Amino acid sequence: MQSFDPFTIAILVAAIVVLLKLRSILGQRTGHDEDLSDMFNKDKQKRQSQNPRENGPSADNVVKLPTRAQNDKGDVEEKDPRLAQIDKIAKPRTKINKGLKEILAADPGFNPKEFMAGADMAYEMIVNAFAQGDTKSLRSLLSKEVFDGFKSVIDDRESRGETVKSTFIGIDGSEVHSAAVKSHEAHITIKFISQIVSATLDKDGVIIEGDDRDIARVKDIWTFARDTRSNDPNWKLVATEAGA
């Protein structure tokens, strides 16, 4: 009977223990295990983020264009706000609207909103100055022709010893009737509706015209003009007529 060497048996036992240990380890899955396909995808994504050109020809060559909405928004932001002011003063595509825009094109300093506010102030100042016979104030606000006409009336009134008692209540409304550029000169005609208490008294203080207590509703159509080539930003009254 063949005998077994104890040393050989010890080696076989050790080999079996090692094999069983390796099998137990290889057969287990831990939370750190990853599928090979997942590892590939992650590695590919990492390389693409580091090298954008690997994303394909479209990522490198395509230029993103602004949308229609973005273009419209940009146009609105870049649009001169004075054009919007004109559209509020006069309806778009009307003759008055076009005339105001012609004035804006000829006179870069023209501000429609400020002009309307200034016209209202000028109207009140001129009405009061005329009633008081203040030719000094009128001279700076009127053209030579209109000033000569106003001064003539004031001189006649004073020669007869007449005075005007007047109180300007306020302007009910003002609107542009026409606007145009004529030979480098901008013209804007405005209709004013105001409330005024006015009475003309003779040299004895007797009322000969108007009423010193009654509030009259007055309508005037005045035309203001300015040379667009001039450095003087002031407008002057160049024509007047009674409103219907």
Confidence of residue 13 (pLDDT cuts 50, 70, 90): low
The CATH number of the domain covering residues in 78-242 = 3.10.450.240
Rg (CA), the chain: 46
Most confident of 5-9, 35-39, 55-59, 170-174: 170-174
Q: Which of 68-72, 95-99, 129-133 has the lowest mean pLDDT?
A: 68-72
pLDDT at residue 230 tops 80:
yes
By C-alpha distance, which of 146, 135, 133 is closest to 201? 133
Torsion sign, CA atoms 140, 142, 144, 147 = negative
How far lies 192's CA from each of 48, 49, 179, 223, in Å? Answer: 72, 70, 15, 11
Residue-range domain boundaries for the chain: 78-242
Residues written for the chain: 244
CB atoms within 10 A of CB 14: 10
Compute the C-alpha angle 79/85/86, nearest 5°.
Answer: 100
Say what the pLDDT of residue 243 is. Answer: 74
Mean pLDDT calculated for residue range 38-61: 50
pLDDT at residue 44 tops 90:
no
Please name the residue ranges forming H helices in the chain.
Answer: 6-26, 36-50, 57-61, 68-78, 81-89, 95-106, 112-132, 135-141, 144-159
Mean pLDDT calculated for residue range 73-83: 66
Mean pLDDT calculated for residue range 237-242: 94
- pLDDT tens by residue, 153-190: 999 999 999 999 999 999 999 999 999 999 999 999 99
* β partners of residue 164: 200
Say what the pLDDT of residue 66 is. Answer: 46
Q: What is the DSSP letter of 55?
A: G
Rounded Cα–Cα distance for residues 16 and 236 (Å): 116
